[in-house]
Amino acid sequence: MSLPNDLTLLTAAESRKLLDNHEISSVELTHAYLTRIQEVEPKIHSYLHLMTDVALSQANAADKRIEHGQIDDLTGIPVALKDILCTTDAPTTAASKILDGYMSPYDATVVTRLREQGAVFLGKTNTDEFAMGSSTENSAFGPTINPWGENRVPGGSSGGSAAAVAAREATISLGSDTGGSIRQPAGFCGVVGLKPTYGRVSRFGLLPFASSLDQIGPFARTVEDAAIMLRAIGGHDPMDSTSVPIEVPNYEAAFRQDLAGVKIGVAKEYSVDGMEPGVDAAMKAALQQLQDLGAELVPVSLPHTEYALATYYITAPAEASANLARYDGVRFGNRIEGDNLIETYMRTRGEGFGAEVKRRIMLGTYALSSGYYDAYYVKAQKVRTLIKQDFDKAFESVDAIVAPTSPTVAFELGSRTDDPYAMYLADVFTIPANMAGIPGISLPCGFSDGLPVGMQLLGKSFDETNLLSIAHAYEQAANVYQELAHI
């Protein structure tokens, strides 16, 4: 392949070939990204912490590894990390004042695995505070801007990671998905975003939001790159009791060019009032493309989907209430002194947490309180089981389920900040997969009013191989990536 004028146009797979053939060096590739970051970061604000010195040191080390033939998939590849993943050589703040400047004494498992591969860390990306939000406007350090529109949100909570890949400020990035926080921003920013099966990727070192829902996954420009990253970070981890000991396969080996014999479910529950006409049109074209590739579209029903949003906003805040109790100004993080211990707690948490985090802590504490636990939290877990059973039944007759990633394209900055319910509806199509623990991927399927539209594919638990194969076949036929590469 010929070298592009700008190395940031390369995918991870393309960069791998050039690095291994000694046509470029990791130092050159890293410098290209650092230059790109300097050019666009004042406008986009994808990053909270740049790791320039670390990146250049890692790039030098990667070049030496390549020279000696010690090559892994991500050796020398510049990546970005969502700032809720613990790192020993850069702050981990969760975009919150309560952790401003906090340095972790250990790395998250996914960070350790990337270090072992010889990846290059460009920096830590912006997020809604403690991953609570759908627009990255809840960050204590300012919002991230969608590269496709200066007045548009990038989605959330992993908006910084999505925007970094879309704006060519990183080859690949990592985010986390609790209710759609990888897939929704991927859809808004026109990139690929993958939420693995719950338990596929270790959560050790991920600052927790809702422990039974959180899952780490990649943003990439292509399905192939997402598969490469998942293979690098996936697999059992004894440090995480929810990590499942299932072998991580070679996903790319199963890629196919057509979908002959594949059955894809279309659920009527994913067609809702408020769907933008442009999103609907892009989805209809995508469904036709899937059929042209040989797939059979099969009507399926997920009857409890309508309860997923309500179930989520009982479950997730309840778990957040428990998880965030640790931020008390005593053990770590910022401390604001009061006249006594209780006042110190109140001042630290009152001034350290933002409005959305406080809202969810209060919702969760209420749902767990005496007299309401059975009425709300226990009932929500029963409904969650019904949601999972809906998917289990549907997957008896189909290989995957297709749906829009979001009912709208990226909305305007500030347009929903005063209306939490409208903000929560941005995740109405992504939340059910988290409640069921199944994998989901968002990939570009067109445009509406000049903004990207995302298509979501959902698969059976631990069947990312089939999910990625279907996504890859669609991506190659639709050729949307070529439209997005030169943003």
Coil, helix or strand at residue 370 = coil
DSSP for 72-127, written as a single string: -TTTT-EEEEETTB--SSS---TT-GGGTT---SS--HHHHHHHHHT-EEEEEE--
How many of the other CB atoms lie within 10 Å of CB of 194? Answer: 31
The active-site residue out of 46, 181, 321, 469 is: 181
Cα 122–156–441 angle (5° rounding)?
85
393 included as an active-site residue: no
**Helices assigned H by DSSP within 395-453:** 420-424, 431-436
Whether the Cβ atoms of residue 126 and residue 95 lie closer than 8 Å to each other: yes
Rg (CA), the chain: 21
Kindly list the strands in the beta sheet with 172-176, ordered across the sheet, starting from the edge strand earlier in the chain.
47-50, 120-125, 78-82, 172-176, 216-220, 192-195, 440-448, 451-459, 400-404, 263-267, 296-300
Cα separation values, 81 from 67, 94, 265, 314, 328, Å: 26, 11, 33, 28, 26
Q: 376 — alpha (psi -120 to 50), left (phi > 0) or beta?
A: alpha
Looking up tokens 């990253």 gives 229
How many of the other CB atoms lie within 10 Å of CB of 69? Answer: 7
Burial of 261 (0-12, 13-18, 19+ CB in 10 A): exposed
The active-site residue out of 157, 158, 173, 469 is: 157
Looking up tokens 């749902």 gives 367
Q: Which residues contact 174 (CB under 8 A, 6 or more apart)?
A: 79, 80, 81, 82, 85, 110, 161, 216, 217, 218, 219, 229, 233
- H or E stretch covering 292: helix 277-292
Coil, helix or strand at residue 51 = coil
Q: Which long-range contacts (CB under 8 A, 24 or more apart) does 382-385 make?
A: 383/304, 383/307, 383/311, 384/311, 384/315, 384/435
Whether the Cβ atoms of residue 461 and residue 215 lie closer than 8 Å to each other: no
139 included as an active-site residue: no
The active-site residue out of 15, 46, 82, 139 is: 82
Looking only at the bridges linking them, the beta strands covering 451-459 and 400-404 are: antiparallel
Whether the Cβ atoms of residue 121 and residue 86 lie closer than 8 Å to each other: no
448 included as an active-site residue: no
Catalytic residues: 82, 157, 181
